A and B are shown apart, each in its own frame.
Chain A
Amino acid sequence: MSRYLSNSVSSRSFVGCVVLVLLVSSFVGCTTKAKFSENAVYILKQERDLNVEISPQQRRDIAEVLAGMFGTPDKPNVPKLGGIDIANVLDATQLHVASGPVSSDERGRARGLYREHCAHCHGVTGDGAGPTAAFLNPYPRDYRMGVFKFKSTPKAGKPTHEDLRDILANGIPGTAMPSFKVLPNNEIEALISYVRYLSIRGEVERELAYLTADLVEGERLLDVTGSREDRSEQAASIRETAARVVQKWVDAESQATPIEAPDPERDLVASIKHGRELFYGPIANCVKCHGDSALGDGQKTDYDDWTKELEPINEEALEQFLGLGNFVLPPRNIHPRNLRQGVYRGGRRPIDLYRRIHNGIDGTPMPATLVIGDDAAAGTKGLTKDDIWSLVDYVRNLPYESISLPPVIEQGYQRERL
């Protein structure tokens, strides 16, 4: 056909095309076998905090201990931790279903669910740095800290099985976290198990890095060349560390905050009014972050706990962390929710809002409430459960409330300005 081509198709155009083809071809063939990556950020953080250097051998020891306990992305393992009934948290069969490459059989039984549905954002290791992560806001969750935002347990507690199920089933509005409602129940269960697995593995890794940073120079986390007694002592210490992490997950199932329903006969108008007083008042002080008009513009300079590990306000440290590689995502400020939109990421049911106010949101500047009894003496700092329900009523009413209330009322609740 080339003899029919016009001479006017200049050689310059062809050279341009060839360069482009080569550029695109350079993308091709970048496949890599799925493997867990180390938590380089946390290791660097330990090195900076304790002014030590974790040697390559010590890093390899951490990786080997983790591989021995937790296996690989294709063959995950449930560690045996003595007295703890880990099967309540990690189910080996479900882990098998969620792990490995994507496939399904003649009866439609799927495998590789995590890689099919989650890994592109959350990463194979669960570090929140999957290929698509840089474009998403907020960044996908890094499970390895063991911190989850939307849950029914108190601050610093692990999420329950139901909490994780809620997030998977309903997704998170306004973010890239989808709803997996269309997945069958057993597949959601497998994903829950795998998320817990990655979280526990990640937290154990952090603990091991912490222990390693504490070792004297040349000492090893698990020295296979050492005496039998030393080895078994080191192994016992590692198992104990892992057991502490797992125990928190076991305990979480019974830690959901008990919630008493509000009085259905309560005066809703009065409750909303009281909630408004609390919103702008000094104890709840929601206005500080959510802003005078509850548009989420009170403060916009804070960071979540994942970002704080990068020490974003310390330029020298930040540069060092970002220099680890492009899997370390640039810091972004965390913005308080705009309560005027009626969109709440952890769920819009009253019970969800109650939990957010009561327990706070882990990993974020949203604090938990200091809850006091109904019979607490006047002036006691804290909120009663009825106060929290009033706040819930007020927050739920906010999308319908005029931003500019009549001046008389506005003046009454306006917070003090410095």
Chain B
Amino acid sequence: MLLVCATFPLIWVGGLVTTYDAGMAVPDWPSTYGYNLFAYPWQTWLFGPWDLLIEHGHRLLGALVGFIAITFVWSVWRNDQRFGVRVAALAALGLVIIQGGLGGARVLFDERQLAMVHGCVGPAFFAYCIALAVFTSGKWKPVEDDLASANLPRLQRISLLTVVFAYLQLVIGAQLRHISVMATPGFFRGAALFHLVMAAVVTIHVFQLLFLAKQQNASVAALRFPTTLLAALVLIQLALGGATWVVKYGWPEFLAQHTFAAPYTIQAKSLFQSLIVTSHVATGSLILATSVMAFARSVRLNRVPTVALGSSALMMELAT
């Protein structure tokens, strides 16, 4: 959970770095202007230029997440003998290292496409941490009585598709955000339309998931939280997506002539614009992570019958 809590702000600050085009505010890596990352004068960092503040801050937060991942691996190694959990913990650390390396390569090669890949791996790591948190959680125990009536396989399928679509949507969004200045208008138009279509696809899947979860019995209430949260996040995200377009490119043509839209002037790099755009990015990550949570919980529920029936229900039946 600590890893999850530390990763989300990292995604936020990473989003701000892209919003302000501050990725090259520090031209070297892993050092910062020749200093060791942790030895960089804090006064220059905190009271220097904004771009430096967020880029160096992003690196420090990344390092913090790396330390938490190391601690997590150490903790698992000491307290958990299960091979799968150990591998999963090591994989989390591996992902952090890869992500850090990608960030470094983006700086060293000054390559926007690497920034795009870096921006896609970040949410994937966040979602992975969520999955780890669900799978290693000891608190949540499904009740097996009602599982027979639950439509879990379908729910599981839809939740997996939601994860896939949410991630694809995020990748397309990253393409739009990191688009090369040499890309053609046709390419951007294709990506933007694809983004809109995927928004509809994700929304349909999320509400289907919500509907299915509502149909389940009380025993799978654990699925209601992520599906309800997912639906709320998708609605927020749709609003943020529309707002992102307006603050970046103005009102769409069919609205532009209306009295409320005609006087609107875009304020480039304003705080409002940055917050809207970065919120859209961060909410995309949250949607992915929540859909992973829903999927992970449905997987966990689905594996219960073999365990549960053997240990309790079947035994009780045999005993009577």
Contact = CB atoms under 8 A, between A and B. Distances in A.
B317 to A, nearest CB: 25
A136 B301 CA distance: 49
A29 B188 CA distance: 14
Contacts of A313: none
Interface string B232-255: 000000000000000001100100
B64 to A, nearest CB: 23
Contact of B266 (A35, A176, A338): A176
A177 B263 contact: no
A36 to B, nearest CB: 10
Interface in A355-399: none
A331 interface: no
B55 to A, nearest CB: 9
Interface residues of A, number: 68
A286 interface: no
A145 B298 CA distance: 61
B186 A4 contact: no
Given A174-B256, A326-B186, A28 B175 contact: yes
A393 B152 CA distance: 71
Interface residues of B, number: 66
Interface stretch (A38-46, A99-107, A154-162, A221-229): A99-107
Contacts of A107: 48-49
Contacts of B179: 120, 131-132
Interface in A313-351: 325-327, 329, 338, 341-343
B212 interface: no
A33 B268 CA distance: 25
A130 B268 contact: no
B33 A102 contact: no
Interface string A93-133: 00000000111111110000001110110011000011111
A111 to B, nearest CB: 9
Contacts, number: 183
A30 B181 contact: no
B262 A329 contact: no
Contacts of B192: 135
* Best-buried of A8, A31, A119, A183 by chain B (most CB within 10 Å): A31
B16 to A, nearest CB: 14
B21 A178 contact: no
Contacts of A31: 111-113, 180, 182
A340 to B, nearest CB: 9
Contacts of B110: 101, 103
A325 B302 CA distance: 53
A181 interface: yes
Given A4-B302, A137-B256, A173-B263, A101 B191 contact: no
A31 B117 CA distance: 12
B284 to A, nearest CB: 14
A131 B187 contact: yes
Interface in A1-36: 1, 4-10, 13, 17, 20-21, 24, 27-35
A329 B180 contact: no
Nearest to B245: A135
Contacts of A170: 265
Interface in A174-227: 174-183
Contact of B270 (A115, A182, A338): A182
Contacts of A115: 181
A333 to B, nearest CB: 12
B50 interface: yes
A13 B159 CA distance: 12
A298 interface: no
A414 to B, nearest CB: 25
Contacts of A178: 265-268
A172 interface: yes
Contacts of B24: 101-104
Interface string B182-197: 1111111101101000
Nearest to A113: B21
Contacts of A20: 164-165, 168
A171 interface: yes
Given A6-B152, A10-B157, A130 B172 contact: no
A134 interface: yes
Given A6-B152, A104-B51, A176 B250 contact: yes
Nearest to B178: A31
Interface string B141-162: 0000000000011101100110
A1 B87 CA distance: 12
B160 A9 contact: yes
Contacts of A30: 113, 180, 183, 187
B263 A341 contact: yes
Contacts of B51: 104, 108
Q: Which of A103, A130, A170, A325 has the most CB of B within 10 A?
A: A103
A14 to B, nearest CB: 9
A8 B154 contact: yes
A28 B117 contact: yes
Contacts of A123: 181
B261 interface: yes
Best-buried of B21, B112, B171, B192 by chain A (most CB within 10 Å) = B21
Given A108-B49, A134-B186, A8 B113 contact: no
A1 B165 CA distance: 19
A130 B250 CA distance: 16
B266 A171 contact: yes
B106 to A, nearest CB: 12
Nearest to A101: B110
A24 B168 contact: yes
Contacts of B249: 132, 135-136, 176
A34 B24 CA distance: 17
Contacts of A129: 184-185
24 contacts: A6-B152, A17-B161, A24-B168, A24-B175, A27-B172, A27-B175, A28-B171, A30-B183, A33-B182, A102-B21, A123-B181, A131-B185, A132-B188, A134-B188, A135-B188, A136-B249, A173-B262, A178-B266, A179-B265, A179-B267, A338-B262, A341-B263, A342-B263, A343-B262
Q: Which 6 A-B pairs have the closest CB atoms?
A: A108-B49, A326-B186, A178-B266, A103-B24, A8-B153, A134-B185
Given A102-B21, A108-B52, A327-B184, 8 more contacts: A5-B156, A7-B153, A31-B180, A107-B48, A124-B182, A135-B249, A136-B249, A179-B265
